[in-house]
Structure formats: C-alpha cells, structure tokens
Structure 1
Amino acid sequence: MSPRSALEASMITSLETHHAGDFFSNDYLSIGKLPHIRQEFLNTLSQTPSLFGSTGSRAISGSTPHHIELEQYFKEQFEAEKAMIFNSGYICNLTFFGYAPQMGDVILYDEFVHASIHDGLRISRVKEHTFSFSHNSASDLESKLKRILKDYPAIPSGLSTLFIVIESVYSMEGDFSPMEELIALVEKYVPSRSAHIVVDEAHSLGLYGPAGKGLLREWRLEKRVHSVIFPFTKAVNFIGCVLTTTPTLYQYLSNYGRSWLFTTSLPHVDLAGIRFCFEAIQTQEADQLRKSVAKLSHLFLKMFLESTYDIPKEVLSILNQESKDLHGRGLVAPVFPIYTPQPLALQHYLNKLGYAARGLAHPGVPKGTERIRVVIHGGNTEVQIRQFVKSLRAWGLSQVSLTTTGQSSLVVGGPGTLHKL
C-alpha cells in the first residue's frame, strides 16, 4: 500500500486532534460544540414536514414553498428589498459576479477578495474590464475611481454600472475593511444611479452587529450598500448563503444565473438547519460567545507579541501586525495569519501536539507570506491560549537555534560542508 500523502495525513490528523483546543476551524462561536444545540436541532427536524431532497434545480421544481419562505424570512431579518438563497458562498459569488455585470459595466475590487469572487470575475462578460485596488487602500481606490470614470464615460453618464467589491473582514489577513471611508469615496465620485457596492460578510456574520448580523450593521452602513453576501459556513456553522440585493438583480439572476438555476437546490433538511443555526447565533448565549471571542482575541494578540519579542519576525510573526486594528475601531478580528517560512514544518509540529493545524504555502498564498491561519473561538479558554502560545514560542526558538547552528557549521566547515548539504 502506498504511503499516505501529506494532504491525507493532514486530514486524518484534523479529525483526530480536538483535545488541544480548536484554533483552526471557522466555527467562530463554537456553536457546533454546544451539547444542547444537538438535541434542539434534532427536535426541530422531528417537526419538519419535509426533510430529504429538494426534487430539482431552482429552474424546475426546486423552488419549493419552503425555499421561497426562507428567502422571505431573510428579507425580513436583514430588512432588505430581496433575499436570494444559494447552496454556498462560492456558488453565490460565482453567480453574482459571473452574471450580474452587463456589457459596458466595470468591476473594481480589493485585491484580497475571496477566490470565489475571482472565479466569478473570470466567467463574467466584463472580465476584460475588471480592476483591483491595493488592499484596504482608500488612496488607491480613489485613484482607480477617477481613472475608470475618465476611461468609461458611460458610467458617469448613467448608461453603465461600476461594481465596487470589498469584504468587511478578510479571511486570510484577519483585518477590517475601512468600509465607511471606501463607501464615502464611491458616493463622492460615482453617480448614485451608476454605483453598485457589494460587500461579502462571510467572516463578520455572527461575530459583529446586533444579534450578530454583521459588521455593516455594527457600523450602521447597511443602507449605503446595494448587495451583501452572507455565507453561513463560518460563525453560523452550517451550509448555504443568502444574498440580499435589489429586486431587479434578483429577477435577473433568477432567470440568467446559470450556476443558481441549474444546481439542485438545497434539500429541506438544510433549509431547516440554516434557519435553526441562524436563530442560534441571535441568542443571549451567542452574545456571550461573541464577547468571549473578542476578549480572547485581544488576549492572544497580547500574549503572542509578549512571547515572541526575542524571535526575529522573519522566523515567526503576525503578518501585517501594524494594521491588525487599523480599521477595527477597537475591534480585533479573531483571525491571525502567523507567518513562518516553514509552514508545513510548523503544521507537523503542532499536529504532534494535538492541534489541527494546516500550513498554507504558495500558490494558496503569495510567496513570502507563508503562514498558518490561527482562529480564536468562543469556546477556547485562557489556559488553552496560554498553552498554544507557549507551543508557538517553542517552535520559534527551535528555528532560531537551527538557523544559528547552520550558520556556525558553514563558518567552521567552509565550502566542503556546504557541498555536503
């Protein structure tokens, strides 16, 4: 039998290593680990009239009354004009960016938006008219806005649309978008009839805002954007996604969005699970978990910086540490990209200690930004965080020692030693 691949070994390790504390999953609030939630969900399912399948795609028989009812539910929850249910955030982004922009339109996006948005752009009919601006840079956004309005006169004249795309919290960087500043620039330069601001709230839904309804509502910006993407696979801890948007775009996508039209719609059991988990993040218990995430995130940041003060940043550090709270208004996102030039070696080290770590290297992340992605959860404890930071420090010191030893060997052994290496 062939030996296990690195990916297979990592997946098996991930399944076996939970006792050390969860520092890597997207279950931010630790909803999946609340024992009473399981029984409450089973009770809900026992009362659900339909469970299995959806009988077809939304284009044929998959737009059941239950699907329409759930869309109406989210329309009311988010006080939106329309709400559209998707099987996942990936399918939502593929559909929206692949089919909403029309010929003559232009798309301007933050360079670090999710891969699924990039995939949507690749199939868009305006793929040759998409531009990025530097991550979270208001000055670069302003410069690009001026250039686009000059080069595409149909936009200022109201004949075409400029889509501006950002995320409220960036999943790999763990930082906040300066949304208010960026939105203000769009409002300043782009005529209202020609602007369409899109925000992906994948990593803020459940963590921020009243009842966990996202950072836009935390900062009272929801009325100044046009479409919002709410995947349920992070803090809500389930499958699916809802897009809140305009009636016109809902009508268009439901007739022309192929990746929505021709995908078998969510089975009824998932419809029940989506609503159940969404309501779970609005409870008082979830409020306490949100506070715990915030408190523990600050603690992790403080402890990591204190514990690695004597370790060179090129060995172990938090990427973009100086901007971690630049746009957070006192908030610290629970995502920490821990840089190391040896992410797979750090992964294996942590796996042996019982952590379900995954090293991220190129092409998954840009060269020179190799990392492990640490996530703080509502169910973590201070003891777990202290032990985890202690393990990271031990790793960092071991790497410093190896580097120092290697340099000494080269000096003593000379070219001969280098040749043997």
Structure 2
Amino acid sequence: MLKTCSPDSLHPSYHLSNAHLQRKLMATSFALESSLLSKLDNRKRRNQPRWDADIIHSDKAGDFFSGDYLSLSHHPHLRQKFLNALASEPLLLGSTGSRALTGSTANHIGLEKYFAEELGAERTMVYVSGYTANVTFFGCVPQAGDAILFDEYIHASVHDGIRLNRARLGGALAFQHNSLVDLEAKVKDIINRCPKIQEGKATLFVVVESVYSMDGDFGPLDGILEIVERLVPRESAHVVVDEAHSIGLYGPEGKGLVRAWGLEKRVHTVVMTFTKTLNFIGGVITTNAIIYEYLSNHSVPWMFTSAAAHVDIIGMKFCFDVLKSAEADRLRETVMNLSHFFMSHFTLSTRDIPKSGLSLLNSETKNLNSRGLISPIFAIFSPDVVALQNHLNEKGYAARALAPPAVPRGEERLRVVIHAGNSEEQIKSLVEALREWALAQNSNVIKQDGALRSKL
C-alpha cells in the first residue's frame, strides 16, 4: 500500500524549516547533501519561490493556474468515451522498446499518418512530450555551419536541445522578444558572418512561439516570415514555430495559429505539445520525409527512449479528436469571452492601486499581434510575488510564483490562466483576492513611511 503524506507535511513551511531534517543533515555531514542544502537555503534567503514536488496547493476556489485551457479534465462524459475507446483496443500497455527497435508499431505509425493528414503535413513525428520533441529536433537536426536565431523568450527545451547539439554550429543567438527590428538586424549579421548561408550551402533556423507562455502574448508571425523570406535564400531558411500554447485554442478545429492564419506552407516545422489544451501526454512535430528519416537514424533521444505506450497513442488521438468537435468550439469561445471579462474586470477593479504594487505586465502589447484574438494567459506583476502566492494559497488557489531566473528580474509575476470551466463569479472572486492583498500591502507601505517620517 502506498503511504500518503499528511496535510502538515505538504505545507510550504515544512521545507527547510523542519528542524528534524536540518539536524539529520548536520549529523550525516555528507558533502553532497550539505552543498545542496546550502543552495536551497540561498533560494529561501533570496525569497525565490519553491516548487517542491510534494507540495500540493488546492484549487477549490477555481482553476486559474493549470494548462487545461478547455477544462477537459472536468468533463465526465469524456472520461467514459475514453474508457470505451480503450476497451476496444487489444494493446494498452508498454511499447516494448524504442522507436529504433520494437517500438514502431502499427499504432505509432498510424497515429503519425493520421496527424500528417489532419495537419496537412508531409510527415509528422510523435514524441512522449513537447519538451522531448524540441530537445530531439534542435539536438540533432541543425548541422555544422548552420546558425540558430531564436526569440529570447523561447522555451527552455529549445535551449537544452541547442546545448546537446554536437555539430559545430555557426552560432546560436537570441533576438529581442517580438522585435522585428532586432530580428532583421541579426539575420543580416548572421548572413554576413556565415557566407555559406547566403550561398545556399548552410541553414539559418529561426525559432519562435505563436503564443508565449510567460507573457501570454502573440508572436508577429507574418513579419517574421517576411523578413526571413526577403533576406535568407529559400534553400537556406528553416522557420520553426512552437505552438504549445495555441494548439487547441485557435484555428479551424483548434489546429493552431499557423493553420488559422494560412502560414503552414511558409513555416517549415511546427512543434505541438498535448500537455496543455489537449490535457494529455505527448507531442508532435510536422516536418518533411528527409528530416523524419534523419531523426529516426541519428537522434539519440529517439533511439534510446522507449516509445510511447499504446494507451498514450490511443489517448493522443482521442484528445485530438475531441478538439475537432462542436463542443470544443463552444469551449474555445467560452475561453475567449472569459478572457476578455477578466482583462476588463481586473483593469477596472485595480484602477486605484499603484501599478508598482499590482498590475498586468505588458498589457499594451499582449494582444498586439493577435489579429483580434485574445490570449487566456495573464502575467500579474507584484514586487513580492511569493507573498502574493501565499495569500492566494490560503484562499484555496493553486497559485505559483514566478521569479528570476524563470522570468527577468523586475518582472516577477503570477501567471493567471483563464479556463472554459471558470465562471464570471470565480473571476470576480480572484480579482477581489488580488485587490485585497494589494491594498493591504499599500497600507503597510504607507504606515512604514509614516513611522519613518515621525522619527525624522
């Protein structure tokens, strides 16, 4: 029988303040544990948030922090449909090996053909997660002499893939977030430094996201493609778009912004993850036959990781089919309507609160490149984001603080996510909780200032 943790052991204050744990570590005096404990203590002293795996925050006040945008996990009839789908399948458990060995079954290959047809791609490749897809692609596909230019806010998995790449790249360089001016300047600089790209003998990879997870803003995909197509020879350009936070939310049948905006013939590779809107495990990239074959024969993560279990293959297709339903269309519309409601209600309810104490980060540019759409991701700024997190946790919200190095210094935040399962009343309650905390903080600052003035 599995042991369960008591509620007391799950409280954030349990970690690092547990005297028994401290004494035990001091008694053992192992060099590794002492070093790790010192790093954890430093994190606490810097007031950085903790993300310990055994802390569970309740979301009884409403789900405003998960990636389940359409609230699919809260639909019991989908659960039954999924169980029915599993019941008709003869294979459910492990795949018995990596895709290079015994893991490429008819189910795996069939799913990739299904996605290729649905997404209008030459080939697709299925992975156990979007993270693995990015690490695999960037760790393997760029070759010696190639260059990679990426938005500075690109996901950590892309950075990890670049670090794993063994080829002597012509360089990997970031451009300022969503800045077409900086992108153009750096494309020109790379072409000047890498003449083989200009000659069509090497490749420049340009890597962006359609919706960014930390700010909830949209990438200027049209402008990015225009610059690449104007400056980079066609045979040397390879644009990669990560659609982790747009698949399921936008486009016909929720197939993402690239397809919503008719850019699929101009974008070379699209990376999608199923762990957000689809509320399942897995990921997929759209690509061509040569890259598919190359990855199959040269990618270490592909060759040495067990293929997704059959139950996961069934689940990926099931969840993707759900996204194509009329019900999903209604849920997408609900997310958009509630996102507008949150933005207007927050703005109205906090108009008397100094923006230095509580505000929406980048509110002016959040939907700048959206073509009239809105993102359900909102970055709530606070100078003491850990205290704000704790305040919301006490009220039943599963809030998680984001501070450096996860986000830039001076842009500490909570990331609020609007879901189809939220209600306007829940949104009002959340905004009131944010407002209550900000007013209390402002009052404390005024009192401290008054006390200081009285001493003077």
Q: TM-score range by the shorter chain?
A: over 0.9
Deviation at 1:413, TM superposition (A): 3.1
Written as runs of structure 1 = structure 2, the 5 A alignment for 1:316-395 is 316-395=358-437
Contact 1:10 1:358 in 2 (8 A): no
| Count, aligned residues | 412
Deviation at 1:13, TM superposition (A): 3.7
In the other structure, the counterpart of 1:417 is: none
Secondary structure, in 3 states, of the residue corresponding to 2:428? helix
In the other structure, the counterpart of 1:109 is: 150
Secondary structure, in 3 states, of the residue corresponding to 1:155? helix
In the other structure, the counterpart of 2:311 is: 269
Deviation at 1:64, TM superposition (A): 1.2
Question: Which residue identity does 1:4 align to in structure 2?
Answer: Y
Written as runs of structure 1 = structure 2, the 5 A alignment for 1:396-411 is 396-411=438-453
- 1:199 and 1:95 map into 2 onto residues whose CA distance is 15
Of 92, 110, 117, 1:76 maps to 117
Q: Deviations over 1:90-140 (max 9, x none)?
A: 111101011100001000110000011111111122456101110001111
Contact 2:200 2:236 in 1 (8 A): yes
Percent of aligned positions that are identical:
52
Q: Deviations over 1:309-342 (max 9, x none)?
A: 1111111111111101111111110000101011
Aligned CA RMSD, in angstroms, stands at 1.5
Question: Which residue identity does 2:347 align to in structure 1?
Answer: L
- 1:39 and 1:18 map into 2 onto residues whose CA distance is 24
Of 66, 76, 88, 2:107 maps to 66
Contact 1:101 1:126 in 2 (8 A): no
In the other structure, the counterpart of 1:248 is: 290
Of 16, 25, 33, 2:74 maps to 33
Question: Which is worse superposed, 402-411 or 336-345?
Answer: 402-411
Decide whether aligned partners of structure 1 residues 98 and 392 sit closer, same or farther in structure 2, where only a CA change above 3 A counts.
same
Contact 1:167 1:200 in 2 (8 A): yes
Q: Deviations over 1:234-267 (max 9, x none)?
A: 0011000011011111111111111111111100
In the other structure, the counterpart of 1:131 is: 173
Q: Deviations over 1:342-395 (max 9, x none)?
A: 111111100111111011111222211111110000111111111111111111
Deviation at 1:403, TM superposition (A): 1.1
Secondary structure, in 3 states, of the residue corresponding to 2:125? strand
Deviation at 1:411, TM superposition (A): 1.8
Contact 2:93 2:309 in 1 (8 A): yes
Written as runs of structure 1 = structure 2, the 5 A alignment for 1:217-232 is 217-232=259-274
Secondary structure, in 3 states, of the residue corresponding to 2:284? strand
- 1:10 and 1:164 map into 2 onto residues whose CA distance is 34
Q: Deviations over 1:187-221 (max 9, x none)?
A: 01111111000000000000000000001111111
Secondary structure, in 3 states, of the residue corresponding to 2:148? strand
- 2:360 and 2:54 map into 1 onto residues whose CA distance is 25
- 1:10 and 1:335 map into 2 onto residues whose CA distance is 23
Deviation at 1:9, TM superposition (A): 7.6
Contact 2:142 2:169 in 1 (8 A): no
Contact 2:146 2:170 in 1 (8 A): no
Question: Which residue identity does 2:105 align to in structure 1?
Answer: T
Deviation at 1:7, TM superposition (A): 4.4
Secondary structure, in 3 states, of the residue corresponding to 2:414? strand
- Say whether residues 1:149 and 2:191 are aligned partners: yes
Question: Which residue identity does 2:147 align to in structure 1?
Answer: V
Task: List structure 1 runs of 4+ shifted beyond 6 angstroms.
Answer: none
Q: Deviations over 1:121-179 (max 9, x none)?
A: 11122456101110001111111111111111100111000001000000011000010
Decide whether aligned partners of structure 1 residues 74 and 342 sit closer, same or farther in structure 2, where only a CA change above 3 A counts.
same
- 1:233 and 1:79 map into 2 onto residues whose CA distance is 22
- 2:390 and 2:55 map into 1 onto residues whose CA distance is 12
- 1:32 and 1:111 map into 2 onto residues whose CA distance is 32
User: What TM-score, normalized to structure 1?
Assistant: 0.95
In the other structure, the counterpart of 2:233 is: 191
- 1:156 and 1:12 map into 2 onto residues whose CA distance is 52
Of 201, 216, 233, 2:243 maps to 201
- Say whether residues 1:237 and 2:247 are aligned partners: no
What stretches of structure 2 of length at least 5 have no aligned partner?
1-7, 16-48
